[in-house]
Structure 1
Amino acid sequence: MVEIRYTELPAALHGQEKDGFFPVYLIHGESFLCDNAVDRLAAALGPREAFELLEGEQVRLRDALEEVSTFSLFASGKVVGLSGARIFDSVSEAQTLAEKAEKAALKGKTKQAIPFFLRYLALKGMTLESLVSSGGKKKKIAEKDAWMQSLAEACLQKGLKVPDSMDEGELLLRAIEKGFPAGHHLLITVDQVDRRRVLYKKLAALACVVDCSVPSGNRRQDREARDEMMRECLVGVLGRAGKTIDPRAASRLLELTGFDLRMLVANLEKLSDFAGDRKGITLKDVEEVLVRTRQDPIFVFTGAVADRNVSEALFSLAGLIKDGMHPLQALSALVNQFRKLVVAKDFLISPAGKGWTRRMAYDGFTRFVLPALLEHEAALKAMRQEWEDGGGGAAKSTDLGIAGNGKNPYPVYQALLRAERFERRELEQAMAILAEADLRIKSGMDATRVLESAILRMGPGSGAA
């Protein structure tokens, strides 16, 4: 049996380079570490061009085995990865899968929820079609299971299917015993393993197991292990970016992120972009980027709609309504979001916005565009005041600006990034759809259904948003 910890992987690969690599690697544990382990293994086993990664929610193990068994165009062989394989699924685990899917779905994490959801349906012998509308009528479903209906609709929109219910573990064992062509390797990631099962013991005797699990207990050594792993991740990401971070800023960053390595990396990348040419990341940077712009559920919802991510928007809306928010409140937040996008787009297409370039970096925005935006909005304010009262008296407050006093520029930068993805007419159509939704809700129609319909109409390919 060969089982190594994630931290031991570099040394193990160095040894296997001399003694020979395994045909199959079984990788389990924390998803971010699993992804990193796959990248390291793929790099060690062959050229990048010879590596193909397959998603477990879209293909079956049989497909991956067929792929790794076919002829390779590369002399070194072929490396196939199967992410999120289902070899350890069992009927008794269906409830756990359902709970994971529901938790992710209600947080708006559609991509994370789908694999659990499809595996749950496979184990229960259910179909996507059994959960969605048919014949133009909305299928009746218990309120507590409404997330399943929304998730099923999202899967069908993506063209996904429920995988076959089969014993993939035995299929894998037979394939390993039969053998792969020389130089061909299979990398399999799973969420978790049960070391007590016969399947695991058989696989561990034939493959190399890479343990990427992280202690989840509350013991002191468990907490210290998690903290150390996050700090190693922090040092690695900043080292590659050529940045440093102030100790107080690092502590605050870890406090805000919690133990989520993927989110930590995303936050570090945001901070690196925010710092621009500066080498050091400060506590002020963390407060500016991660505290003042930290997303709560309503901003996750409005952001998903503005990003044209229909499935995530519907999931987020379901969570907001479940927590007691009225659809009219959610609609009001959308109106505010798109009103800001209209203002941002008007600036971008005006002569004052000529300094903006597509996907401009934050540092360039603060140096070249923000000053122009502040002058532009000040000129508009003066013009409006002159129209209203001939130039006398104090200017009235308005929501027809996005820069404010320029003291909190990062959200403004994000608004411009979103606005550049739209044509002006698309934003006008989106505002018309929202106005129509407001009228329909106030006329007594089902508020949730009206808002869901508006989100769908503003989705990709609609010409509105």
Structure 2
Amino acid sequence: MPTIQCKELAKVLEGLTKGHYWPVYLLFGQEYLTNRAVDALLDVLLTEEQRAFNLVVIDGDRENVADTVHFLNSFPLLTGSKVVLVKNTRVFHSRITAKDLLSEARSYYQKGSLSEALKSLQRMCASVRLGAEETGVGFLLEMDDVQWEAAFGLQRTSEDAAMIKRLVEHGLDQGMSRSIAEVSDDILDAALDRGFAGKNVLVLSANVVDRRKRLFKLLEKVGLVVDCSVGEGDSKKAKDQKQELIVQQLREQLLEAGKKLSPDAHKRFLEYAGVDLRQIGSELEKLITYVGDRKIIELGDVEAVVCSSREEAVYEVMDTLANRDFGRSCLVLEKLWDQGFFPLAVLKVIGDEVRRLLWAKGRFHQGRVTYNQFQREMHKQLDDADKEVIGQMAPYGIFKLIEYADNFTEDELVFALGRVLDTDIALKTGAPDPKGELVDLLADICLESHGKQKLPF
């Protein structure tokens, strides 16, 4: 059957309930949409009771095609079909997908998901068959620009080099130096020709695929391929497609919950919830829970739930930064970005927090004190010059600020302030990737970059 779009899947699933099924399904594209589509498919293929016994789930990073075929050639414990799901399969990776895998790594990195970003790079290495010994983090560190371009057909920017260096450090710290082995599609190719035992079904999900591969073309003939891709970039077509998906998701989620958004609430929700499909789903779920039995979600509900989340995100970025939590800082940055904060506005939040931490570090040298001690002895010492830095901050907030300052040395905070100024100049002079500039700033503040010996690249 020809490849169908994600929005066409619901109609196809109606046919599955009548007993029409394919032995293999491939669902690929945008991660959130793909996962939703896979869940919808599994709901049709298996009952809740069957899931416990007839569903085999395989992580694509540990994928062994021979094992997958073995599962497909054995009969299920309960009557019905056995379903083997390979999540994020790599059988469709090739040199062609290297560009997409690198983009995937950048996206995870900007969200603070360092382990996932590193996995994307390791998958990229495995996809061009560099050899298992060359797909660990050590090899990524040792590759120069010439080797990189020869292997992947891509130029490596200075931003990519800095990202890889950070990911290598993270991988070594977390014990993620193991390689991701190559996968061969030949065994699966032959198994599809022979057929599976009984009515067993193979479900493959993937973020990126090379449509030119013979296996992909074979699946289009003998199975069902569902394209869940979303246009990237700022083109009108990409924006229109994203908007259509957002509206579709709202409609489906509200219909499932038996709720409706009033026109004013609908408009304000889209203004504040952002454009990330996962974020939109999460915020809408909060709203649905908030209104309880009411069928109509009003403007006041959106302002009480979603708009307050926007304000909370500002305070959260300050908290995560002060705790040197790079991963959470990036997640909050992503939330602010999706909610439409301008880069310079986000930078101001970060810069103000660094200045307050530097003030606390220089103003108080007594070490750890209790809150009662602070109120009794230290709070009274604050003068007008101090209040120019901390504003109308409550006493407990100032006390916490002093505690947070202990997470940094004075040199680190001076370095961080210098990086804030560098980023300010970059943003005001037309940096091509404003979000990347902010992620790099958070990394330099949270990951103790100051004074670290630079690794060779």
TM-score interval (norm. to shorter): 0.5 to 0.7
Q: Aligned match of 1:230 in 246, 250, 257?
A: 246
Q: Aligned match of 1:106 in 101, 110, 114?
A: 110
Per-residue CA deviation, residues 384-443 of structure 1 (Å, 9 max, x unaligned), is 8xx97xxxxxxx9542367xxxxxxxxxxxxxxxxxxxxxxxx99x97574152345369
Residue 97 (1) aligns with residue 101 (2): yes
**Secondary structure at 2:447 match in 1:** helix
The equivalent residue for 1:9 is: 9
The equivalent residue for 1:209 is: 225
Cα distance change, pair 31–315 in 1 and its aligned pair in 2 (3 A): closer
Distance in 1 between the 2:125 and 2:263 partners?
47
The equivalent residue for 2:138 is: 129
Q: Aligned match of 2:408 in 393, 415, 437?
A: 437
Per the TM alignment, residue 12 of structure 1 is displaced from its structure 2 partner at its CA by 2.4
What letter is aligned with 1:80? V
Cα distance change, pair 290–102 in 1 and its aligned pair in 2 (3 A): same
Normalised TM-score (structure 2): 0.63
Distance in 2 between the 1:443 and 1:302 partners?
17
Distance in 2 between the 1:439 and 1:83 partners?
46
What letter is aligned with 2:57? L
Distance in 2 between the 1:186 and 1:160 partners?
31
Q: Aligned match of 2:180 in 156, 160, 163?
A: 163
Residue 264 (1) aligns with residue 273 (2): no
What letter is aligned with 2:79? A
Per the TM alignment, residue 259 of structure 1 is displaced from its structure 2 partner at its CA by 4.3
Per-residue CA deviation, residues 98-154 of structure 1 (Å, 9 max, x unaligned), is 233123312324466344322123236332134579xxxxxxx96652222333444
What letter is aligned with 2:228? C
Residue 79 (1) aligns with residue 95 (2): no
**8 Å Cα contact 1:24-1:187 kept in structure 2:** yes
Distance in 2 between the 1:283 and 1:230 partners?
19
Distance in 2 between the 1:108 and 1:51 partners?
32
Per-residue CA deviation, residues 138-197 of structure 1 (Å, 9 max, x unaligned), is xxx96652222333444552757432234x333321222233221321110122445454
Residue 174 (1) aligns with residue 201 (2): no
The equivalent residue for 1:48 is: 51
Distance in 2 between the 1:226 and 1:291 partners?
22
Cα distance change, pair 288–119 in 1 and its aligned pair in 2 (3 A): same
Distance in 1 between the 2:272 and 2:402 partners?
35
Per-residue CA deviation, residues 25-55 of structure 1 (Å, 9 max, x unaligned), is 0112332222122112212222222324333
Matches within 5 A, 1:139-150: 144-150=160-166
Structure 1, gaps ≥5 residues long = 134-140, 337-345, 348-379, 389-395, 403-426, 455-465
Distance in 1 between the 2:207 and 2:95 partners?
16
Distance in 2 between the 1:222 and 1:449 partners?
33
Cα distance change, pair 261–225 in 1 and its aligned pair in 2 (3 A): same
**8 Å Cα contact 1:28-1:193 kept in structure 2:** yes
The equivalent residue for 2:207 is: 191
**Secondary structure at 2:394 match in 1:** coil
What letter is aligned with 2:409? D
Matches within 5 A, 1:228-307: 228-275=244-291, 278-294=294-310, 301-302=317-318
**8 Å Cα contact 2:140-2:164 kept in structure 1:** yes
**Secondary structure at 2:86 match in 1:** strand
Cα distance change, pair 263–334 in 1 and its aligned pair in 2 (3 A): farther
Cα distance change, pair 280–221 in 1 and its aligned pair in 2 (3 A): same
Matches within 5 A, 1:356-371: none
Distance in 1 between the 2:331 and 2:179 partners?
20
Cα distance change, pair 283–182 in 1 and its aligned pair in 2 (3 A): same
Per-residue CA deviation, residues 62-109 of structure 1 (Å, 9 max, x unaligned), is 444444444532232421211221222212432332233123312324
Distance in 1 between the 2:300 and 2:175 partners?
41
Distance in 2 between the 1:210 and 1:182 partners?
24
**8 Å Cα contact 2:93-2:209 kept in structure 1:** no
**8 Å Cα contact 1:80-1:186 kept in structure 2:** yes
Cα distance change, pair 286–332 in 1 and its aligned pair in 2 (3 A): farther
Cα distance change, pair 8–24 in 1 and its aligned pair in 2 (3 A): same
Distance in 2 between the 1:198 and 1:30 partners?
22
Distance in 1 between the 2:175 and 2:123 partners?
16
**Secondary structure at 1:89 match in 2:** coil
Cα distance change, pair 195–128 in 1 and its aligned pair in 2 (3 A): closer
Cα distance change, pair 153–436 in 1 and its aligned pair in 2 (3 A): closer
The equivalent residue for 1:360 is: none
Cα distance change, pair 250–306 in 1 and its aligned pair in 2 (3 A): farther
What letter is aligned with 2:117? A
Structure 2, gaps ≥5 residues long = 143-156, 338-342, 360-369, 381-390, 420-442, 450-457
Q: Aligned match of 1:200 in 216, 233, 239?
A: 216
Work out the number of aligned pairs and report it: 369
**Secondary structure at 1:74 match in 2:** coil
Per-residue CA deviation, residues 342-368 of structure 1 (Å, 9 max, x unaligned), is xxxx99xxxxxxxxxxxxxxxxxxxxx
